[in-house]
Structure formats: structure tokens, C-alpha cells
Structure 1
Amino acid sequence: MKRTKLTAALLASTLIAGAATAQDVTLTIESWRNDDLAIWQQQIIPAFEAAHPGIKLNFTPSAPAEYNAVLNSKLDAGSAGDIITCRPFDASLALFEAGHLADIGNIEGMAGFSPVAKSGWSTDDGSVQFCVPMASVIHGFIYNKDAFDELGLEEPKTEAEFFAALDAIKADGSYIPMAMGTNDQWEAATMGYNNIGPNYWKGEEGRLALLAGEQSLTDEPWVAPFRQLAKWGDYLGDGYEAQTYPDSQNIFTLGRAAIYPTGSWEISGFNNLADFEMGAFYPPVQNAGDTCYISDHTDIGIGMNAATPNPEAATTFLNWVGSSEFATIFANSLPGFFPLSDAPVTLEDPLAQEFISWRDECESTIRSTYQVLSRGTPNLENDTWNASVAVIKGEESPEDAGARLQAGLASWYEPQQ
């Protein structure tokens, strides 16, 4: 009798343990955002696990510079996590084409994203989506409100107002008009050309026309932003040619410059460094009443390892990433990284709220060089860096810069031939 009871008890305990094991699934998340570890551990993971008992999350980031190599090695070895954090465009597209990322276009969580939002993690024809868009960064100008108040300046809405403000700041002499250097090159293109450019080429209209070969980089909408950049050198301060990106950040946050051409990714860091009130304005349009366009650039997404043994749990998590709850947590934990879904979100940071409010006023696009156009040699993204620098420094005319970029693109990209 005792033996029968013991056997029954052991059987029952085995069944209970088996049920718990079957229910409790741990999803491992690969990412390059090691600076986000505390946010995942303290906010995102507890919120998900509270709403989804039985699914645990294990966030295991790699160093950003090592992520691509580490991830590819794990995927090839079959040891990668269930969830893959996705860089935009070609790096993630290559993972999908290699069979490492699952097609998740039909999951419920993808329903609230526009084609522009999904463009960073779609096949070239837009027919397949392989990562849920998590966040974008928005380009524009951050400014020192104290400096503007001292000089009686208002946020410029048009180019004429923009240059009038720069002239007034320069004439006063108390502040460098704009903090941006050309030493590291990428800022001139990212915070210069691709910041102001969408107002000229009309955002997605021009970008898609360039992809289709219906416009070229020698057309006026693509040369005109260089003409504006050619004027910037007069306002960047002495020695801007040798000024690095960290130098520019320091110059602005120390209160030595009035305007900082940039993107929303700076908000968190600047909030901790600047002891003055900051404001932001979107790239000024050519004429009052013109439609404004902003670079609302897809920055980070998240997808499913095609080889995960836990596809149902992974789908549950990805659906949650597309929810308002996740968007609100992520956006307020990382001010300046904005949700891409149409789920309602309330932002607590006033500067972040200013940036995201531009979506209601302006048309959104992404950086012109990031989809398809930088796959060949010469690389259009890198060429746009050095062309923007050369134009700012007066070493190349806007027309010559456009012609050089067009020749490089046409040398390998068939629609431009």
C-alpha cells in the first residue's frame, strides 16, 4: 500500500514538473543595444512577463561593433537566440535571404505599421516583412532657448528666417551659430544633407523616384540641398574642419553654440549634460506655406530566428512589441527613439514630444541613401558624406558634387543607367 502511494506521488510530481516545463518557455533576445540592458531588465521584461505568465525573456546583448559578426557566427552554429534585434535595411535583409529570419508579415503585431515604417525590414518589393519596427529617430535642429531669448529670436519656419537667425547670432558674437564639424564626415550628410534634403526632393516622392531611375542626383531637388550646405561653413565657428562629433556635442551642451543640427537620438544625453532649456525645430521650408518633410528614419526592429524551437511564444512577444504598452515603455525609457506604430503613446519628455509632434505637421521619409542605393561600389552613403563635407568647406561646387554622386551611382545601379 505504501509502495503504491509512493509510486502515485512520484508519478504526480513528475506530471506536475512536466507541465511546468511545458508551460515555461524562455526566449533569448539577441541585440547590439548593451546600453539598454537596465531598461530591459527593470522595465520591459517585467511588464511582458507580468502580462504573459509562462514566457520568460533573457536579454543578451553584444557590443555594438561586434554584434553583426557575433550574431552571424551564432546563427551559423545554430546557437542564436529566439529573437533577433534587427538593424535596418541590408544587414537584416541579408539575414532573411540566408534563411535566418522568419517571415512575420502576417502576425497581428504588424497591423499598425505604415509602408514607410516597415521599409527598413522588408524585401525590396515590400512583399515580405521580417522584423517588427521598434523605433525611429527624427532629424531636425535642437537649440538653446536661453540664447534665443537673449537675442530675441524665434524658431525659424522658412529658410530665410533660418539664415536671418544665424546672421543675428553671428553678429552678436556671444554664441557660435551652429555646432557641427566636418572631421568625422558622417554628420555633414546625416545632420546636414539628409536633414534638410527631404524638403527639396519631397520626401518619399523623390526618394522612390530616385530608386526607380525617374530622378537623378543632378536634378535640382538633389543639388539644392548642397546649395544650402554651401552656406553653412560661415556659421560653424573657427576650426570646424577639425571638429569631431564629440567636440560638437560638448560645444553645444556647454552653452557655447546656439543651434545644433542633429537628430532625436541626442535627447537623453543632452538632458543630462545641458544646464539650459532646449527647444527643437524641424528643417525650415523654402517658402511659407510649403509642406514640410522630416527624416523619420527607421532605426531598430526585432524579428524571429527562423530556427527557434519556440515560434508560438516568439510570436506572442513580437505581437506585444507592436502594442501600445511596449511603445509607451520604450519611448519613455529612451526619449528620442520613437515608436513607429500607430498605437497611441504618451511621451513624458517635452523635447521628445516636440520632435514626435512633427509627424502631425510634416510628411515622413527615411534617409535617401539607406535602401538599395548603397549596395554597390562606389557606396552612395559614404560618397554623400565626403561630398557634403567638400561642399561645406567650399572644395566642391553643389553641381559638381551632384554630378560625381550621380556618376558613381549610375556606374553600378541599372535604373540610373
Structure 2
Amino acid sequence: MTRMLKGLMLATTVLVPAALAGVANAADTALTIESWRNDDLSIWQEKLIPAFEAKNPGIKVTFAPMAPTEYNSAVNAKLEAGTAGDLITCRPFDLSLAMFEKGQLAALNDLDGIKNFSDTAKSAWTTDDGKTTFCVPMASVIHGFIYNKKAFEELKVEVPKTEDEFFALLDKIKTDGNYIPMAMGTKDQWEAATMGYYNIGPNDWKGEDGRKALIAGTQKLTDADWVEPYKTLAKWKPYLGDGFEAQTYPDSQNLFTLGRAAIYPAGSWEIAPFKAQADFEMGAFPPPVKKAGDTCYISDHNDIGIGLNAKGKNPEAAKKFLAWVASPEFATLYANSLPGFFSLNSTAVKMEDPLAQEFVSWRQTCKPTIRPSAAIVGRGKPNLDLEMWRVSANVINGTQTPEQAAEETQKGLDSWYKPAK
């Protein structure tokens, strides 16, 4: 009997704390993040969420990604059914704007930390009138050129700063014959615009000034500043290697990482995979300017943000998480966990990866802008972004002149877009 009582007392001392712990856990506020980025699940689970939870006991966060191709329809269905998580990862521009206009995403103008972002940084998640921001900017991608340092050393060449230097460099690489000067194909079309026209064009249309003038209708795609990048692209053809017209995006990646090409017109998202695949050291340089002393511009394109489900069950806890996402601490953690996806926070982040630091350092000397087809003028049919893909590829292939490309895109824009007066 005594032994039985002792056993019951021991069981009670073990079970009661466990039960109390269960009560405490049950009282935790649970937040769920909806996202399409299933490739960074481990980073959220192992670095980002633990850092937040350590400072916010009582809030438990779950990162719940879906397949990228299914995200748009799936998250919209969840929002309409009232089953979506408290935090919604935001694609840039119109898809997220549509969620806000439906009342699915909450306004974040009064969120702690939202002032840590410039108007350009917030532009992908702000209403057309510029008055309301509805997602916290998380990261952007930067365009430029990645190069094979070994190839440059062998050829005794330096990074070009002007367009004349750039083409002189390409001529020297081509004459040497050991490397394809640039690895880029036109079969998939999107690279011709994304890593071509959108990459080099901001130096001609003066970044945000030109982009906003296009939206306002005070500039047209047939103006000299918008035709000039096509003229430069037309000069790329001799340097892209044999059969570039049939070369796919993965083909171009392989040519560069296998060491067969000296330069790769790039988006910074290539940094991590290239470093995993290439056995040579890489460097990067921004789009060369027309002449020495010109102001340089870079495509620093908003890529991902995060917003508040307007009908979520735990808005106060969710706002705490969003305020943390807006902090320099999150900016540093996120950017260094995903080199090539750069913080949009006004507080500069020191990158641990040298190649990533090279890209982000251009923000100190060049003016950032976003892709001109991304906001407002890209909403209609024909879709300006897709049109620019096609005509950029045609110009490089030599099947369309720069002037014809500009006229075609402007004609398509005129067919549906009427600038606000």
C-alpha cells in the first residue's frame, strides 16, 4: 500500500508540471506564414523563426510554403474561404495590390518600422496613388554582369566602366578564342529583356525618372532614351557564341559555370547556385555607363514582401512579426541566409558573401530603379513585359530593328493605356 501511494505521488509530481506546460503551450499565439518560396524552408525553420521566437515568447510561428506555381490560386482560395494564415507572403505589384483592393491584406502605414523603407523599396506594395503600403518589403534582386576572374586574369583585362570599354573587352575575349565572350541565349526570350534591356536600359532612361515619366505619359517607348538600349543590345550578337538563338536559359547557366564563357549577364539570384557549381572565382560589375563620369543606374527590382491577412485571427501578434521583419536584425539575417536576395531596408547590410557584397555595394554609387514594365503599364493586353521579352530577343537576333521594337511596344501600350491626367 505504502509503495502504491509513493508511486502515485511520484506520478503526480511528474504529470502536474507536464500538464501545466501543456496549458502554457496551449496559450501560445500561433502564427502561420503562407508563401510560395519552398526552397528556403530550412532557413525559416532554423534561423529566422527561432530568432523571432527568442525575443517574443508566447508567439509560435509556422512557415507553410506551397508549390510556387500553385501559390497565386491557392492563397487566393484560402483568403476567400477565411482559412489563410495570419501572414501572407507578397509577390510584387499587381497580384498583391489586387488582394489589398479586395480587402484581404491590411494597410500597414502605421506599422512600427515601415519608415525604414524608401518609396522605391515600397513601390511594389503601395497603391497607385502612393498613399497606402500593404506589405513589408523583404528583398530585391539586382542586375549586372558576373564574370570569370580566372578568364580575366588569363587575358590580362579589367572590369569595364564605360560602354566603349565593355565592347573593347568583348572584342579582346572573342579574338583570343578561348572563351565565349558572353553566355546568353534568346530561345526563352525572357533573358533578353530581364538580363538585357532591363539590365542596361536604366542608364539611358535615367532609372526612376524615366520609368515614372512613362507611366505619366510624358515619355514614350519610341523616345531616344528608350530606343538606345535596343541599339546596344543589337551589338551583343557577335559575342554570344554559335547557335545562341537556340540556347536556353539552363544552357547559358551551364556554359558559364563550366568555364566556357567569360561573362554572364545576370540577376543576383544566380549567386548561390553559381557558387555551388563553378570551380572558379567570380566577380561582378554593374552595367557600364555611356561615358566616364555619367551617373550610373541599376535595376534593383523588388522581389518579395510580406503582409497582414486583414481577417487573420491574431493581428496583434502578426504585427509584432511584421515589425520585426521591418527591422535591421531581420534584414541582416535574411540577406546573409539567401545571398543574392538583398534587403530593401534603408539600413545597409554587410554581406558575408563577397560576390553578394559586390552586387549590393553598387547601391552606394548607383541609383536604384525597378523594371519599367512591372508597375501600372504592365497590366493590360498586350502585356508590356511579354512584349519586351519578345522584341528584345528579336533585336539581338537581328530580325527586328531597335526602332521597330520600340514602335511595336508603344503601339501595344497605346492600345489600352491612357495616362492619368
Smaller-chain TM-score bracket: over 0.9
Where 1:215 maps in the other structure, the secondary structure is coil
Q: Give the aligned residue type for 1:377.
A: K
Structure 2: state its 5+ residue gaps.
Answer: 1-15
- Match of 2:48? 44
Letter in 2 for 1:316: K
Q: Which letter does structure 2 place at the counterpart of 1:247? A: D
Q: Which residue of 2 aligns with 1:165?
A: 169
Give CA deviations for 1:221-275 in whole Å, capped at 9, x if unaligned: 0000000000111100001001000110000000000000011110000110010
- Equivalenced residues, count: 407
Q: Note the aligned Cα RMSD (angstroms).
A: 1.8
- CA–CA separation in structure 2 for the residues paired with 1:104 and 1:369: 25
What letter corresponds to residue 83 of structure 2 in structure 1?
S
CA contact (8 A) 1:410 1:416 kept: no
Does residue 326 in structure 1 map to residue 324 in structure 2? no
Question: Is it true that 1:370 corresponds to 2:406 in the alignment?
Answer: no
User: What is residue 95 of structure 2 aligned with on the other side?
Assistant: 91
1:298 and 1:310, CA in 2 relative to 1: closer, same or farther beyond 3 A? Answer: same
1:242 and 2:243 correspond = no
Distance in 2 between residues matched to 1:105 and 1:295, nearest whole Å = 26
Distance 1:286 1:411 in 2: 33
Alpha-carbon separation, structure 2, partners of 1:342 and 1:408: 37
Residue 150 of structure 2: aligned partner: 146
Match of 1:386 among 371, 390, 403: 390
Q: Residues 93, 416 of structure 1: CA spacing in aligned structure 2 closer, same or farther, 3 A cutoff?
A: closer
Q: CA deviation at 1:416?
A: 9.1
Aligned to 2:294: 290
- Distance across 2 between alignment mates of 1:345 and 1:19: 40
Matched, 1:219 2:217: no
Pairing of 1:334-413 with structure 2 (within 5 A)? 334-413=338-417
Q: Match for residue 31 of structure 1?
A: 35
Q: Note the C-alpha offset of 1:346.
A: 2.0
Specify the alignment match of 2:308 in structure 1. Answer: 304
Alignment of 1:240-279 (within 5 A): 240-279=244-283
- Give yes or no for contact 1:268–1:335 (8 Å, CA) kept in 2: yes
Task: Report the Cα distance in structure 2 between the residues aligned to 1:107 and 1:202, rounded to whole angstroms.
Answer: 32
Query: What's 1:191 paired with?
Result: 195
Report SS of the residue matched to 1:111.
Answer: helix
SS at match of 1:407: helix
Partner Cα separation in structure 2 for residue 124 and residue 415 of structure 1: 12
Counterpart Cα distance in 1 of 2:137 and 2:27: 28
Match of 2:13 in 1: none
Give the Cα–Cα distance (whole angstroms) in 2 for the partners of residues 303 and 236 of structure 1.
41
TM-score (norm 1): 0.95
Amino acid at match of 2:318: A
Match of 1:121 in 2: 125
Structure 1 runs (4+) deviating above 3 angstroms are 15-23
Structure 1: distance between partners of 2:245 and 2:367? 33
Cross-structure match for 1:7? none
Distance 2:253 2:81 in 1: 41
Alignment map for 1:74-85 (pairs within 5 Å): 74-85=78-89
Query: Which runs of 5 or more residues in structure 1 are unaligned?
Result: 1-11
Quote the offset at 1:72 in angstroms: 0.9
TM-score (norm 2): 0.94
Amino acid at match of 1:114: S
What residue number does 1:414 align with? 418
Q: In structure 1, give the amino acid aligned to 2:79.
A: L
Distance 1:178 1:49, change over 3 A: same
Q: 1:314 and 1:75 mapped to 2: Cα distance?
A: 16
Distance 1:183 1:134, change over 3 A: same
Deviation at 1:285, TM superposition (A): 0.2
| Secondary structure of the corresponding residue to residue 108 of structure 1 | coil
1:74 shift after superposition: 0.7
State percent identity of aligned pairs: 66
Note the C-alpha offset of 1:19.
7.5
1:252–1:260 contact (8 Å) kept in structure 2? yes
Q: How far does residue 325 in structure 1 lie from its aligned partner after superposition?
A: 1.1
For residues 372-403 of structure 1, what are the alpha-carbon distances to aligned partners after superposition, in whole Å with 9 as ceiling and x for unaligned? Answer: 11111111000000000110011010001101
